[in-house]
Chains A and B, each alone.
Chain A
Amino acid sequence: MSVAPLLRKIFLVDLIKGLSVTFRSQHPNELITEQYPLERPWIAERYRGQPRMAVNPDTGESLCNGCGACALACPEKLITVTSDRDPVTKKKYMTSYTYDVSRCMFCGLCQESCPTDCIELSQDYEMALYSREGMTLDRVRLEKGPEPTEYAR
């Protein structure tokens, strides 16, 4: 054995190096654990989560004009839109809207196809349920939007 490795061994250089690495990693800035329910992770702007429908903030009316483009665009056929024609103004309007999230793959084609930017996939991700029953969202749920649960100790 040559001299340098022997000296390293005798003075425990490698062990001390290892100890210094673990000692430095104790610094609180190095923490990567998230206290999930208490503090929420940062979500990217383009994240596609639970769908919601926008309403006109001034009048409270739905932005949806009942065109059904989203239902056509949906590859899984999850969206059903029924519409009617107003006898006075001769304009089409939406009468009911259902969105089945249980099989949704969050591709975002519905929000791409919407001409009035009504349907969109929000950044909410807490969508787990015990059964498929509550997974079909109607117009009321969609317009209310996601309601993230507040957690406290």
Chain B
Amino acid sequence: MRPFLDYLHSNVTPGEYGSYLWAVIYILIIFAVASVAVMLMTWLERKILAHMQVRLGPMRVGPHGLLQPIADALKLLTKEDILPDEADKMVFWFAPVWVMMIAFLNYVVLPFGRTHAVTDMNIGILFVLGVSSLSVLGVIMAGWSSNSHYPLMGALRSSAQMVSYEVAMGLAIVSAVLMTSLNSTGTGTLSMIGIVEAQKAAGRWYIFSMFPLGLIAFLIFAIAMIAETNRAPFDLPEAESELVAGFHTEYSGFRWSLFFLAEYAAMIGISSVAVTLWLGGYLRPFPNLLSGHSWDLAFSLFPGLVFTGMALMCLIGAARMPKIPQMKVQTIGLWLFGAVIALIAAVLFLPGVRERVQDIFWFAAKVAVFMYLYIWYRGTFPRYRFDQLMNLGWKVLLPISLAVLILTALVGIRQDLSTVLMGVLR
């Protein structure tokens, strides 16, 4: 029992500590939180998309439709699970499981904080690249085994798109990894925590380093990751107006919801990768401009303050609820919700918790921005045509990312290069 609890005083991930039990606990927590985040995302997506289209969105289930995800989940779980007669039963059954497994496998290496990752692999980013490219297989399995036209076409489009965008994405990632090898210590790293620590040592996020090279690499990754997760405006594999629902046309009920879960989990996972590589991962904002002990303290109080503000909003909202019998249950619910959030805020102010948890807060805040961007793009941009998509991938993103990679390398070794050139000239 003692070594089990001793982990809490150590400052390493469960993988480094060598405790399987803590690793399992971390996996369970991450799985649960990611599933809840996916449910929240579905609600937020419907709501924000509706507001962008001057609609209200879900309003009937709970206050402002807050319980809508639960209602959706109940509906999906109790729906009939149709297995098409002519389908390849085994593959049809396995495809959603595969897609979901792959989507959640990425989470093994994502660092939510210095100590908050399942494990810190020394090939972390390579692992992410390899695993995320495997999800194409699940999509192809689903499209092929359905034995139907639309799923097959959706799967073909999806495979072409994911494979071609992976190239630009990989090159963008390599240029970020290259930056870690150009820091003061001079040794590069592929480990996710190592990349964040390199940014900490450099005193700046990689999006700002070697301006504008880091920014361009980040933008290429940001475009490629939307194509990679099959989201609007690159949602050709599931283009509703052309292919019904693409590769998951024949799926219904629980299996469809697995695809859905996997898509959103993949969105969160790939955004986390972008945050880790370019936006300083779990580091707080302004590491170089506003440095010093007092700023550290101010930033560590920030999560608690945010939660206090949320609790206040809940309590004010509950006090302002209309005093009619129909609203009684909702008012009590809002009071309790506000009280729970206030409790969380109070816990976040404790010094011991504050130090450990603010990493997670900054990471989640950065990922949340990406999630909002996903919805924002979906509400704004029309879908690309297939040849336009391929043109953008191969003729624009790939050359630019290659150029950025070469320029990053050149800028990194400019001192050595200049001495060599001087020697040649002499």
Contact = CB atoms under 8 A, between A and B. Distances in A.
B52 interface: yes
B59 interface: yes
A56 interface: no
Given A25-B51, A25-B54, A26-B48, A19 B380 contact: yes
B7 interface: no
Interface in B268-327: 324, 326-327
Interface of A: 15, 18-19, 21-23, 25-26, 28, 30-33, 35, 152-153
A113 to B, nearest CB: 44
A22 B54 contact: no
Interface string B41-59: 0000000100111111001
Nearest to A27: B51
Which A-B residue pairs are the 4 nearest by beta carbons? A152-B326, A26-B51, A33-B56, A22-B52
B381 interface: yes
Nearest to B324: A152
Nearest to A19: B380
A31 B56 contact: yes
A11 to B, nearest CB: 11
B379 interface: yes
Interface in B75-110: none
A32 B51 CA distance: 10
A25 B380 CA distance: 11
Contacts of A32: 54
B55 A33 contact: yes
Contacts of B380: 15, 18-19, 21-22
Given A25-B54, A32-B54, A153-B327, 10 more contacts: A15-B381, A25-B53, A26-B52, A31-B54, A31-B55, A31-B56, A33-B54, A33-B56, A35-B56, A153-B326
Interface in B17-72: 48, 51-56, 59-60
B256 interface: no
Contacts of B324: 152
A118 to B, nearest CB: 37
Nearest to A12: B219
Contacts of A23: 52, 376
Contact of A18 (B59, B327, B381): B381
29 contacts: A15-B381, A18-B380, A19-B377, A19-B380, A21-B380, A22-B52, A22-B376, A22-B380, A23-B52, A23-B376, A25-B51, A25-B52, A25-B53, A25-B54, A26-B48, A26-B51, A26-B52, A28-B51, A30-B54, A31-B55, A32-B54, A33-B54, A33-B55, A33-B56, A35-B56, A35-B59, A153-B60, A153-B326, A153-B327
A109 to B, nearest CB: 40
A114 to B, nearest CB: 40
Interface in B343-399: 376-377, 379-381
Contacts of B53: 25
A32 B48 CA distance: 15
Interface centre among A19, A21, A22, A31, by most chain B C-beta atoms within 10 angstroms, is: A22
Contacts of B327: 153
Given A152-B326, A153-B326, A22 B379 contact: yes
Contacts of B56: 31, 33, 35
A21 B53 CA distance: 10
Nearest to B53: A25
Nearest to B61: A153
A96 to B, nearest CB: 41
A102 B236 CA distance: 50
B228 to A, nearest CB: 19
Nearest to B329: A153
Contacts of A31: 51, 54-56
Nearest to B52: A22
A41 to B, nearest CB: 15
A19 B326 contact: no
